[in-house]
């Protein structure tokens, strides 16, 4: 029997790793992937709780989260491509017109 | 050690390692591949949690579709290698790591204050993971969110098309 | 009709609106003039009806208040457009609307052909509106509104010929001077009102005046109030030191000089002092000041008038001098005598001004009397009426001027002393002298103008009939104020009529030495003989031996120049008052306060904000991850807070 906490700690670790990736990487696509990592850690939490308490709602929610993540990735990558067409870079440090 | 514990340790280790490696590699394609590995490990963990449907969907959708999409875009854009990790903006990176560690500790702390409920029995755990059960719930109790999600996907499709269109002359 | 007394204000207001808004479109002078004059005539009829109605009431009941509409009701001040119809206000209103109507009719002829004909009548009607509000008001606030209104109309009308030159400056300078000097007086009036409100808590006559006598207010307060009100009166009624605007006001058209600067507006100050007579009665020092200022003004203005060569200037200084007489009367406690002189002066001074207008009109705008002479042949009616006016102002019985002036001189002697009488009598002699100098040089003697260029002619009847009406009034107007020596203790109708208004004041001032009838007859006789002598002297010099005049003026050249230049008072004011004020305004108020302090504060606020934002905007780096880091820090903080609540 693996206690619930183990899954949750694993999920927390993945989440924090994803956060660090979002805040530190400069390549926009890698930032995106870190966001996916964060989403997955949330999924893991959902499924862990769902499994342990026998309520299917957790897994259904994961279903929806995955659909939304897919949609988000599609749009996000399309935006990155559009930006790349204009600025020829996906280094997010260089996409900084919204400043003083 | 039971089989379950051993498998958990194995998959968990792979997940942790691949996530750290993904975040730290300079080559974005390598990062993507590590992420694929991460998803695979997660799929295994889902199986350990008796969530069959989610495990399969994880592989199909995440590893199979989303990561392929990432790799296609990486192939299109051919981004340059990122320069050194710590050299530019060291304060920001330091702050990021500090924030990360703090957040991790906070979440750990709150895990042990969560109020545990009663654990379900094995039959129930298996039952809710089956595709029949999930399918039935989706199409009866949660029909409205299901249709809504379809709408979201439609919007995403249209959006992606519009955003990546080249200007017509 | 008294309940509808506000019609006397409403009719001229309608006239002003019609002529003012549509006058330019109504090109027909007859219509404009009829509306203008007609409205004043209607107002006169309203007042007349009210007057006869009031006559029918017993004396105690003759003061009534008619409210038109509420105006200000805030902070303890309850001022309405509300009119006090009593003997004093009816008398003043009759003078204003009666003489006003006559002058309006005259103006139809005088202003014929002027491109601003409609504007003239609009302003003139507006003036009547303001003046009616002034004399009929039952509270200080409405009176002040009328006060300011007549000042405004005076400004507008003096500056009527706005594109003409006038003496050393322009007509606009003259009208500005009138307005600004008036304003100084208005300040005094306002301070007086502030004092009154502070001590009495109200600005309505009915809530202030009856309570003055037993109010327990310290006497220095009454002195202060009286002096400040008198300052306002000196501004409006052209006494020393604020008389300097009146001679310059002659830049306006002659009917304006007649109506505003002779008959009505300048009497507003007299009316103010008369209305608040009970306050002055409580302030003996102020009354002494009023009497002395009036006496000095009368004397000095007469001396200046002796040597002026512009026909209107002579009349202007004569007006200042006669106003001095009225204040002298008020200052020695002869309130009804002062108002009596207001009435008779309105008759003969308006007559004189309109006559002068007729001469100017006939001589094609020439105003210098050195270029006149022998005009009686060409303008007989003007000559006759002007002569009647001159006789009246000189105080020859039985014309009206004799009765009113003599009453004042007698009361000055009785209440003030021999000194007052002597100066007053000397002034009367000078008045007779310069009036007949004017008459002789203008209408009689040799003709000093060039026949080929100038063709003097009599004015049309629309101008001469008003002259004749005023001449009749100047002759018979005195009989309602016959002195007590002639008709007994209660025979002076005018004084009896006004007595209830002044009873509080008279009661306070009562008690003085008794004088005999003999003294009065003697003084009366002396002033008449003196006036006749002065007239004969003037005629002798200016008709028969004009060289005497030139010899005297040459031998006393310095003295003559001082008089001719009006004692250099204007120059004195310019140097001592105007230049320092302008200097302070420019260097201190403008350069320092406005540019540095106020602009500095405004710009400084902007500078502070831009300084602060220079640092605040560093937050917007444009780097998305920086924002994300900040967000995460906030989330971590929030999680701490949540955890702490476990």
Which of A23, A34, A76 should we substitute to test contact with C (largest number of C Cβ atoms within 10 Å)? A23
**Does B96 touch chain C if contact means CB atoms closer than 8 Å?**
yes
pLDDT > 90? residue C493: no
Pair C440, C542: CB distance under 8 Å:
yes
- Which residue of chain B comes nearest to C639, CA vs CA? B106
Q: Looking at residue B167, what DSSP letter applies? A: P
Does A96 contact C621 at a Cβ distance shorter than 8 Å?
yes
Pair A25, B23: CB distance under 8 Å:
yes
Measured CA to CA, the distance from residue B161 to residue C257 in angstroms comes to 89
Measured CA to CA, the distance from residue B34 to residue B15 in angstroms comes to 9
Structure tokens at C25: 């479109």
Q: For chain A, what is the domain count?
A: 1
Q: Is C342 exposed, middle or buried (0-12, 13-18, 19+ CB in 10 A)?
A: buried
Higher pLDDT, A99 or B111: B111
**Does A45 touch chain B if contact means CB atoms closer than 8 Å?**
no
Does C625 contact A97 at a Cβ distance shorter than 8 Å?
no
pLDDT value, residue C296: 92
Using pLDDT thresholds of 50, 70 and 90, give the confidence band for residue C135: very high
Contacts of C624 in chain A (CB under 8 A): 92, 95-96
Does A93 contact C623 at a Cβ distance shorter than 8 Å?
yes
How many Cβ contacts (< 8 angstroms) between chains A and B? 214
Measured CA to CA, the distance from residue C62 to residue C501 in angstroms comes to 10
Please tell me whether residue C85 adopts helix, strand or coil conformation: strand
Pair B120, A52: CB distance under 8 Å:
yes
Percent of chain C exceeding pLDDT 70 equals 98
pLDDT digits (tens, 9 = 90+) for B148-166: 999 999 999 999 988 877 7
Nearest CA distance, B112 vs chain C (angstrom): 11
Nearest Cα neighbor of C335 from C134, C527, C520, C88 is: C88
Does C629 contact B96 at a Cβ distance shorter than 8 Å?
yes
Phi-psi region of C622 (alpha: psi -120 to 50; beta: other; left: phi over 0): left
Summarize the confidence of residues C327-343 as an average pLDDT. 90
Contacts of C632 in chain A (CB under 8 A): 19, 23
**Does B27 touch chain C if contact means CB atoms closer than 8 Å?**
no
Contacts of A1 in chain B (CB under 8 A): 4
> What distances in angstroms separate CA C609 from CA C598, C612, C614, one per listed residue?
17, 5, 9
Higher pLDDT, C629 or C589: C629
Measured CA to CA, the distance from residue C441 to residue C306 in angstroms comes to 13
Measured CA to CA, the distance from residue C540 to residue C532 in angstroms comes to 12
Q: How many secondary structure helices (H) and strands (E) does chain A include?
A: 3, 0
Whether residue A28 is contained in a domain is answered as yes
pLDDT value, residue C478: 82
**Does B90 touch chain A if contact means CB atoms closer than 8 Å?**
no
pLDDT > 90? residue A75: yes
Does C623 contact A24 at a Cβ distance shorter than 8 Å?
no
- Touching subunits of C (3+ CB pairs, under 8 Å) are A, B
Nearest Cα neighbor of C247 from C347, C315, C189 is: C315
Nearest Cα neighbor of C474 from C318, C341, C378 is: C341
Measured CA to CA, the distance from residue C18 to residue C161 in angstroms comes to 22
- Token look-up 């490990």 returns B41
Instruction: Report yes or no on whether pTM surpasses 0.90.
Output: no
Which of B164, B165, B166, B167 should we substitute to test contact with A (largest number of A Cβ atoms within 10 Å)? B164
Whether residue A99 is contained in a domain is answered as no
- For A20, which of B96, B137, B153 is closest by C-beta distance? B96
- Which residue of chain C comes nearest to A19, CA vs CA? C632
pLDDT digits (tens, 9 = 90+) for C351-379: 999 999 999 888 888 888 888 888 888 88
**Domain parsing of chain B, residue ranges:** 1-80, 126-169
Q: Considering chain C, what is the average pLDDT of its residues? A: 86
Using pLDDT thresholds of 50, 70 and 90, give the confidence band for residue B87: low
Contacts of A48 in chain B (CB under 8 A): 49
Structural domain boundaries, residue A59: 4-94
Whether residue A100 is contained in a domain is answered as no
Nearest Cα neighbor of C89 from C33, C182, C149, C5 is: C5
What CATH number belongs to B1-80? 1.20.120.1200
C490: number of Cβ within 10 Å? 10
Does B103 contact C640 at a Cβ distance shorter than 8 Å?
no
pLDDT > 90? residue A44: yes
Helices (H), C63-116: 87-110
Contacts of A15 in chain C (CB under 8 A): none
Nearest CA distance, B112 vs chain A (angstrom): 8
> Using omega within 30 degrees of 0 as the cis cutoff, is the peptide bond preceding A45 cis?
no
Does C636 contact B96 at a Cβ distance shorter than 8 Å?
no
Contacts of B112 in chain A (CB under 8 A): 5
pLDDT digits (tens, 9 = 90+) for B19-75: 999 998 888 999 999 999 999 999 999 999 999 999 999 999 999 999 999 999 999
Nearest CA distance, A56 vs chain C (angstrom): 28
Using pLDDT thresholds of 50, 70 and 90, give the confidence band for residue C521: confident
Structure tokens at C105: 């009719």
**Does B98 touch chain A if contact means CB atoms closer than 8 Å?**
no
pLDDT digits (tens, 9 = 90+) for C416-475: 788 888 999 999 999 999 999 889 888 887 787 777 777 777 888 888 889 999 999 888
Residues in chain A whose Cβ is within 8 Å of chain C: 19, 22-24, 26, 31, 92-93, 95-100
**Does A24 touch chain B if contact means CB atoms closer than 8 Å?**
yes
Nearest CA distance, B31 vs chain A (angstrom): 7
Measured CA to CA, the distance from residue A43 to residue C232 in angstroms comes to 91
Summarize the confidence of residues C57-69 as an average pLDDT. 80
- Which residue of chain A comes nearest to C631, CA vs CA? A23
- For B124, which of A24, A43, A54 is closest by C-beta distance? A54
pLDDT digits (tens, 9 = 90+) for C241-265: 888 888 888 888 999 989 887 778 8
């Amino acid at each position: 029997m693996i206690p619930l906490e183990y899954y949750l700690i694993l999920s927390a670790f993945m989440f924090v790793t994803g956060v660090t990736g979002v805040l530190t990487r400069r390549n926009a696509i890698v930032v995106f992937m870190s966001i996916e990592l964060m989403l997955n850690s949330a999924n893991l939490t959902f499924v862990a709780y769902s499994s342990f308490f026998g309520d299917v709602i957790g897994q259904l929610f994961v279903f929806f989260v995955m659909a939304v993540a897919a949609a988000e990735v599609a749009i996000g990558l399309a935006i990155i491509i559009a930006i790349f067409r204009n600025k020829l870079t996906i280094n997010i440090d260089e996409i900084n017109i919204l400043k003083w | 050690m039971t089989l379950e514990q051993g498998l958990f340790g194995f998959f968990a280790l792979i997940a942790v390692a691949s996530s750290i490696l993904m975040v730290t590699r300079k080559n974005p394609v390598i990062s993507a591949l590590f992420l694929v590995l991460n998803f695979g490990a997660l799929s295994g963990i889902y199986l350990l949690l008796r969530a069959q449907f989610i495990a399969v969907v994880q592989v199909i959708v995440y590893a199979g579709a989303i990561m392929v999409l990432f790799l296609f875009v990486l192939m299109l854009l051919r981004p340059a290698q990122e320069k050194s990790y710590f050299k530019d903006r060291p304060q920001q990176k330091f702050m990021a790591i500090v924030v990360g560690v703090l957040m991790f500790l906070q979440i750990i702390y709150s895990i042990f204050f969560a109020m545990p409920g009663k654990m379900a029995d094995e039959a129930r755990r298996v039952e809710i993971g089956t595709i029949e059960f999930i399918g039935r719930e989706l199409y009866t109790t949660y029909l409205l969110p299901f249709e809504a999600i379809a709408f979201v996907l439609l919007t995403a499709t249209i959006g992606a098309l519009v955003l990546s269109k080249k200007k017509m002359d | 009709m008294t309940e509808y007394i506000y019609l006397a204000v409403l009719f001229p207001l309608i006239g002003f609106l019609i002529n003012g808004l549509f006058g330019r479109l109504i090109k027909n002078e007859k219509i404009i003039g009829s509306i203008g004059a007609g409205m004043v005539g209607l107002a006169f009829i309203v007042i007349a009806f009210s007057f006869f109605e009031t006559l029918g009431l017993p004396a105690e009941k003759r003061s009534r208040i008619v409210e038109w509409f509420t105006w200000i009701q805030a902070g303890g001040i309850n001022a309405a457009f509300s009119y006090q119809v009593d003997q004093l206000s009816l008398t003043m209103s009759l003078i204003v609307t009666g003489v006003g109507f006559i002058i309006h009719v005259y103006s139809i002829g005088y202003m014929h052909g002027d491109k601003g004909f409609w504007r003239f009548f609009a302003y003139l009607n507006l003036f009547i509106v303001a003046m009616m509000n002034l004399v009929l008001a039952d509270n200080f606030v409405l009176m002040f509104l009328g006060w300011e209104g007549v000042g405004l109309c005076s400004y507008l009308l003096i500056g009527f010929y706005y594109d003409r030159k006038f003496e050393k400056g322009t007509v606009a300078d003259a009208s500005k001077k009138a307005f600004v000097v008036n304003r100084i007086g208005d300040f005094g009036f306002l301070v007086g009102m502030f004092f009154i409100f502070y001590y009495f808590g109200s600005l309505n006559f009915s809530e202030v005046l009856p309570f003055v006598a037993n109010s327990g207010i310290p006497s220095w307060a009454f002195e202060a109030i009286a002096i400040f009100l008198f300052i306002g009166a000196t501004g409006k009624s052209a006494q020393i030191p604020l008389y300097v605007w009146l001679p310059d006001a002659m830049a306006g058209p002659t009917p304006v000089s007649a109506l505003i600067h002779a008959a009505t507006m300048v009497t507003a100050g007299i009316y103010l002092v008369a209305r608040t007579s009970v306050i002055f009665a409580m302030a003996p020092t102020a009354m002494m000041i009023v009497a002395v200022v009036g006496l000095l003004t009368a004397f000095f203005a007469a001396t200046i008038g002796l040597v002026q060569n512009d026909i209107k200037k002579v009349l202007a200084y004569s007006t200042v001098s006669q106003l001095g007489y009225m204040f002298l009367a008020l200052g020695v406690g002869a309130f009804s005598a002062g108002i009596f002189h207001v009435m008779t002066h309105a008759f003969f001074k308006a007559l004189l001004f309109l006559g002068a207008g007729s001469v100017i009109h006939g001589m094609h705008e020439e105003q210098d009397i050195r270029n006149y002479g022998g005009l009686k042949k060409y303008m007989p009616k003007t000559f006759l009426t002007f002569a009647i006016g001159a006789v009246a102002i000189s105080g020859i019985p039985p014309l009206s001027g004799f009765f009113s002036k003599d009453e004042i001189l007698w009361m000055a002697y009785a209440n003030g002393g021999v000194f007052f009488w002597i100066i007053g009598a000397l002034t009367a002699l000078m008045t007779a002298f310069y009036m007949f100098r004017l008459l002789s040089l203008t209408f009689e003697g040799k003709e000093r103008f060039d026949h080929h260029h100038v063709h003097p002619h009599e004015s049309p009847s629309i101008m001469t009939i008003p002259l004749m009406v005023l001449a009749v009034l100047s002759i018979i107007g005195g009989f309602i104020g016959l002195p007590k020596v002639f008709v007994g203790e209660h025979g002076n109708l005018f004084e009896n009529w006004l007595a209830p208004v002044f009873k509080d004041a008279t009661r306070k001032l009562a008690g003085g030495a008794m004088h005999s009838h003999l003294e009065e007859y003697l003084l009366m006789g002396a002033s008449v003989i003196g006036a006749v002598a002065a007239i004969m002297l003037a005629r002798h010099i200016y008709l028969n031996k004009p060289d005497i005049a030139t010899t005297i003026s040459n031998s006393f050249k310095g003295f003559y120049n001082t008089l001719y230049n009006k004692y250099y008072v204007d120059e004195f004011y310019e140097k001592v008052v105007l230049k320092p004020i302008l200097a302070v305004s420019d260097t201190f108020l403008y350069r320092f306060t406005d540019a540095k302090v106020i602009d500095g504060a405004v710009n400084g606020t902007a500078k502070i904000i831009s300084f602060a934002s220079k640092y605040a905007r560093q937050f917007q780096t444009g780097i998305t991850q920086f924002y994300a880091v900040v967000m995460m820090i906030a989330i971590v903080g929030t999680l701490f807070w949540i955890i702490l609540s476990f």
